[in-house]
Structure 1
Amino acid sequence: MTTASLRRVPTRYFVLLMNALRAQGVDTVEILSAAGIDETRFNHRDGTLATAEVDTLVQTANQVTGREDLGFDLGRLIKMNSHDLLGYGLLSCHTAHQIMCMASRHYHLMTETFTLNYQRRPGAPGEAIYTPTIAMPDATLRFYLEVVAVSHQNQVRLMLGVDAPAYDVYLSMPEPAHVLRYRTLAPARFHFSENALPGVRVVMGADLLDHPLPFGDADVVNQIDERCSLLGSRPPTGHFGWGEYVEMVLRAAEGEQVTLEDLARRLNVSARTIDRHLRAENLAFRELSDKVRFARACEMLCESGATIKQVALKLGFSDTANFSRAFRRVVGVTPTDYVSSGTHSFPPLTQRDSSFMSS
């Protein structure tokens, strides 16, 4: 059994989405049936879905509705009390800063597929980083990114009202077709970038984080904090193949030179830990980085009108000579020969062995 298959996502969040779609006239029974999920599992808020079930549900819901903004819709439905016991503790915090601290300690009770890392120096702005903990299909990742980003905004809005101070939310995805919907969420400012480590980063100022909230109750916070701790600790960092997870991260950060240290900081583990897990799968970070980077180069070279110089610059090379040498080292032929060969194939990354690096 894989590590990812053990990760669970509470059905209570998807109950919100299914109820909203049903109210819009969507046949949610069809969605669940096509996804192979028994609809009775959505009768209880304390149920869970496996990550593979979430992947299928998201894909099926997108197909049945013909929409790609369902993550946005779900984010708009999530409130503090959507998080059950933890939510009531969050509602009893004195400030947004205290909410973020408590949420980061127990974020695994909301979902085990993302982590929340919150950092702040006294009196300074704070930064919340939501990071996926497992590899997932692009459609699922984008769905989650929108849920996380928009639900963060929605809960700030419900806490502080429309007069909340402005703050910035960064999503590691291309600007969506429904980007105008984000413009209605002021004062939050949303930024999209497909060349970033996968996740959502939120930067909030002291004026927002230290604003007093009306229902603060230290006793309730302490009691619920203790009870949440008894519900289980955060699952250990691990993936159903570290190689697959690292490949997802590197693909998402297209055009950026992501280092092992960058990834380690984001996951809050040591670079040595990631390297050890990769070596257990007979992989190395540099090997994966090169393979992902040049698989993308092959795709770009096959695009109509693409030039070697354009591809080199987009992948971060200072000149075509350096790009051509690196391309030949990894792919085995020069970019010119690759294009002229007409084969335009690049073996799947997980099927390539380490000897490929020495070609």
Structure 2
Amino acid sequence: MAADSRRVAARYFAALCDKLARDGVDTAQLLRRSGISAEALGRQGATLTATQLQAFVSTSRELVGRTDLGFQTGLLIKLNSHDLLGYAMLSCRNVEQMLQLVSRHFHTMIDMFTVRYRRLGAVGEVVYSPVTSMPAEVLHFCLEAIAVAHHGQVAMLLGPALTGYDLLLTMPRPVHGALYDGLAPARVFFDAPGPAGVTVRMEGAMLDHHLPLDSPAVVQQIEEMLHTVRQRPLPDRDWGAFIRMLLRESRGHRLTLDEIATRIDVSTRTIDRHLLKENLQFRTLAQEVFLERARRLLAEPGATVEEVAHALGFAEAAGFTRAFRKATGVSPAAYRRAPPQRSAGRADMRAEASEAGRRTSR
């Protein structure tokens, strides 16, 4: 994971620990194995490092034996969970102002993500994006927590005015996916195309709905205080790992440099410059990850070339076949017939595919 300059507010995990303790989980062991002090977890303003977050997610899943802890964390996050920012959110005049506020100060909750809000005519779009590399298990935990918390907080503010809206997650549908039926009227979509993250699209009537605790003075006062806390985060120093993560997590879509730059609000030249410092190029990384994912997907039992092509963002299998053959010297079909222990070398792959072809013809 990223350097431990990255932080997340500990109070969100204190709430989860309380729930797990009520369910009979040994939370003292969980915290000890995660390198987290129980005393520090409950301290006002306490934060967890990226390393502690990773340890907490993996250890809690191991001890509890459940996959839905990110979902459950999201259910526990309320507007008053966010300290000062939560009071400002409650004091906004409408949901749109609240989302604009969150987009400016989300890093005070967790600076491993950034938020962008924009109004597109009658629809508002909120995009939560990671700005640091992290293991898939941790990323998916965070995406679920963010998506479910967003829904719960908007539902609380709007009450009966909440109508259908779209909630899109780039992660695969989890085994506990049926739990998302309880978020109705939200329409939840998994494997959403684009860079890793959560995208929310809401109609203008909900965005413009007047909130009962509207207080411009409170919002202004708290915003002035929050501006002194921390600056909006930029991606890691380890840009190569970050870009690789985004490429690996992109599903049904061929991620471009322009899309990444737009999502994290930097220029493509900035990304290129940082990659160059690590002797890397975006095109090379994209090709490496393409081959890595293609080989893994082709190795899955029962997977067809057409399914793999779609998962990798190709409109047609023919386009995927041309790209794969150009990179490896063999077709995807021939590669699927190769022995299980595949070499990454182009010449070895050709030999394996040729041998597989001879066996098939016998």
Q: Same fold (TM over 0.5)?
A: yes
2:177 aligns to what? 179
Q: For the aligned residues, what is the CA RMSD?
A: 2.2
- The share of aligned pairs that are identical, in percent, is 43
The CA deviation string for residues 180-211 of structure 1, in whole angstroms up to 9 with x for no partner, is 22111222221111654210001111111111
1:12 aligns to what? 11
Distance in 2 (CA, whole Å) between partners of 1:202 and 1:337 is 39
1:62 aligns to what? 61
Distance in 1 (CA, whole Å) between partners of 2:343 and 2:179 is 39
Match of 2:209 among 208, 211, 221: 211
Deviates more, 1:246-255 or 1:142-151: 246-255
Q: Is the 1:15–1:42 Cα contact (8 Å) retained in structure 2?
A: yes
Q: Is the partner of 2:338 in helix, strand or coil?
A: helix
Match of 1:226 among 212, 224, 227: 224
* Residues 1:261 and 2:258 are matched in the alignment: yes
Q: Is the 2:324–2:331 Cα contact (8 Å) retained in structure 1?
A: yes
Q: Is the 1:108–1:114 Cα contact (8 Å) retained in structure 2?
A: yes
The alignment's TM-score, normalised by the length of structure 2, stands at 0.88
Q: Is the 1:31–1:60 Cα contact (8 Å) retained in structure 2?
A: yes
Q: Is the 1:195–1:252 Cα contact (8 Å) retained in structure 2?
A: no
2:85 aligns to what? 86
Q: Is the 1:295–1:346 Cα contact (8 Å) retained in structure 2?
A: no
Gaps of 5+ in 1: 348-359
* Residues 1:73 and 2:72 are matched in the alignment: yes
C-alpha displacement of 1:325? 4.8
Matches for 1:1-359 after TM superposition, within 5 Å: 4-121=3-120, 124-193=122-191, 195-235=193-233, 237-306=234-303, 308=305, 311-312=308-309, 314-317=311-314, 323-331=320-328, 335=332, 336=334, 339-340=337-338, 342-346=340-344
Distance in 2 (CA, whole Å) between partners of 1:318 and 1:180 is 29
Q: Is the 1:298–1:346 Cα contact (8 Å) retained in structure 2?
A: no
Q: Is the 1:93–1:99 Cα contact (8 Å) retained in structure 2?
A: yes
Q: Is the 2:191–2:251 Cα contact (8 Å) retained in structure 1?
A: no
**Residue type of the alignment partner of 1:149:** A
Q: Is the 1:169–1:188 Cα contact (8 Å) retained in structure 2?
A: yes
The alignment's TM-score, normalised by the length of structure 1, stands at 0.89
Distance in 2 (CA, whole Å) between partners of 1:343 and 1:274 is 35
Distance in 2 (CA, whole Å) between partners of 1:126 and 1:70 is 29
The CA deviation string for residues 5-31 of structure 1, in whole angstroms up to 9 with x for no partner, is 211111011111111111222111111
**Residue type of the alignment partner of 2:69:** L
The CA deviation string for residues 324-346 of structure 1, in whole angstroms up to 9 with x for no partner, is 55334434655426843553144
Aligned residue-pair number: 344
Distance in 2 (CA, whole Å) between partners of 1:284 and 1:240 is 15
C-alpha displacement of 1:320? 6.2
Distance in 2 (CA, whole Å) between partners of 1:191 and 1:263 is 21
1:351 aligns to what? none
- The 3 A distance-change label for structure 1 pair 70 and 320 is closer
Q: Is the partner of 2:209 in helix, strand or coil?
A: coil
The CA deviation string for residues 307-336 of structure 1, in whole angstroms up to 9 with x for no partner, is 556544553456666545533443465542
Superposition misfits of 4+ residues, deviation over 4 angstroms:
305-310, 316-325, 332-335
Gaps of 5+ in 2: 346-362
- The 3 A distance-change label for structure 1 pair 82 and 302 is same
- The 3 A distance-change label for structure 1 pair 346 and 96 is same
C-alpha displacement of 1:62? 0.5
